[in-house]
């Protein structure tokens, strides 16, 4: 399952493991502030599952993220 990174204004960044079909979080589970989901450059992190890796476009960002 993918891990999503959210940012809460109070708690800072936190990660949530969610199903692809799950709704994104609107509020922080800890303090109920509104959170933003970060679309970070770390796609490699989000989809780092054994045997499954998106490498359609070589030498795109995935190279840095992968190491
Ligand atoms: Zn919070």
Looking at residue 47, its pLDDT comes to 52
CA of 25 to the centre of ligand 1 (A): 12
Q: Which domain holds residue 59?
A: 3-66
What domain count does the chain have?
1
Distance 62 CA to ligand 1 centre (A): 30
Helix (H) or strand (E) holding 13: strand 12-17
Residues of the chain with pLDDT under 50: 41
DSSP E strands in the chain: the ranges are 3-8, 12-17, 36-38
Instruction: Report pLDDT for 61.
Output: 59
Cα of 21 to ligand 1 centre, how many Å? 23
pLDDT at residue 21 in the model: 85
CA 52 to chain CA centroid, nearest Å: 16
Give CA–CA dist 12/31, Å, rounded: 11
Distance CA 22, CA 17 (A): 10
Paired tokens of 14: 């936190």
Is the pTM above the cut of 0.75? no
CA 5 to centroid of ligand 1, rounded, Å:
13
């Amino acid at each position: 399952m993918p891990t999503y990174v959210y940012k809460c204004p109070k708690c800072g960044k936190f990660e949530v493991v969610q199903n692809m079909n799950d709704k994104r979080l609107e509020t922080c589970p800890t303090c109920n502030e509104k959170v933003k989901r970060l679309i970070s450059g770390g796609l490699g992190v989000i989809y780092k599952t054994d045997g499954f890796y998106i490498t359609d476009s070589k030498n795109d960002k995935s190279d840095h993220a992968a190491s």
